[in-house]
Amino acid sequence: FRNRKLIVQIIPFENRRQILVTHDATETERIEMMRRDFIANASHELRTPLTVIVGFLEIAGTELDLDAPTRAAHVKLMTEQAHRMQHLIEDMLTLSRLESVDYPLRPERVDIEKLMEQVLRDARALSAGKHTITLAVSGPDVLGGFEELHSAFGNLASNAVRYTPAGGSIHLLWQDGAGGPQFIVQDTGIGISPEHISRLTERFYRVDKSRSRETQGTGLGLAIVKHVLLRHGGTLTIKSEAGKGSSFIVNLPKSVTTPVGGELLPQ
């Protein structure tokens, strides 16, 4: 029973006898701890940009003779921080919807060609010409949630852009693997040391907080990816080497495959 939290109750039973009831509360305790951590982290993440906004608003209220360029610079900084809060709240709402039983996945036929084109377009827009980004699509369409898969694949592609220095390359690949369809994002970016890999899908876990923030990261992207994949019966494998680059490999089960041009028939 080492490292477990047991609740023990002794209940009197008939004359002089007692019943010993034990309840293993380790899991409940772990979930409760995760919930507390999440609230603490989320509050901290929201408080930081809000402090900046409040600071500039106070200046605006007291220093009434600020020149126009200074005022414009303050408004720009406040707008950036407000957008940061907006992204964070959107990601938190997405995560809570993905976990909610009131929001079950309603599988529909996902046009992979269209989905991949959108992921490519968004990644290129984010990169603004600083990277070489290529796409190869050879796998089948699938049954699933278009918007959910779009957000999962889009997060992986945008991470590749955000963690790859200018001049690097990113390859997006959709293919039919032996176990089912696969989406792979390969980058030649900063990479990740092995000790971090297993923790990356935890909410707010970041290898380098400042780099994540500088590039508009909320720290929730890979947690969203994990939950979307859970709902689709898929898995995420991360292969990486610090300084060399990373591959994020999504494996979806064969059962999500639909025959090309055919009806919605899970295999």
Does position 52 interact with ligand ADP (CB under 6 A)? The reply is: no
Nearer to ligand ADP, 190 or 256 (CB): 190
Q: At closest approach, how far in Å is the CB of 34 from ligand ADP? A: 16
Does position 200 interact with ligand ADP (CB under 6 A)? The reply is: yes
Does position 222 interact with ligand ADP (CB under 6 A)? The reply is: yes
Q: How far is CA 81 from CA 19, 48, 53, 238, in A?
A: 59, 9, 7, 31
Site string for ligand ADP, 55-84 (x = CB under 6 A): ------------------------------
Does position 151 interact with ligand ADP (CB under 6 A)? The reply is: no
Nearer to ligand ADP, 173 or 222 (CB): 222
Does position 163 interact with ligand ADP (CB under 6 A)? The reply is: yes
Q: At closest approach, how far in Å is the CB of 69 from ligand ADP? A: 32
Does position 170 interact with ligand ADP (CB under 6 A)? The reply is: no
Q: At closest approach, how far in Å is the CB of 114 from ligand ADP? A: 24
**Are the C-beta atoms of residues 21 and 9 closer than 8 Å to each other?**
yes
Q: At closest approach, how far in Å is the CB of 107 from ligand ADP? A: 25
State which of residues 160, 184, 229, 256 lies at the interface with ligand ADP (CB under 6 A).
160
The residue type at 126: L
Select from 54-62, 65-73, 124-132, 219-227 the region that touches ligand ADP (CB under 6 A).
219-227
Can you give the binding site for ligand ADP, defined by CB under 6 A? 155, 159-160, 163, 187, 189-192, 200, 205-208, 212, 217-223, 246
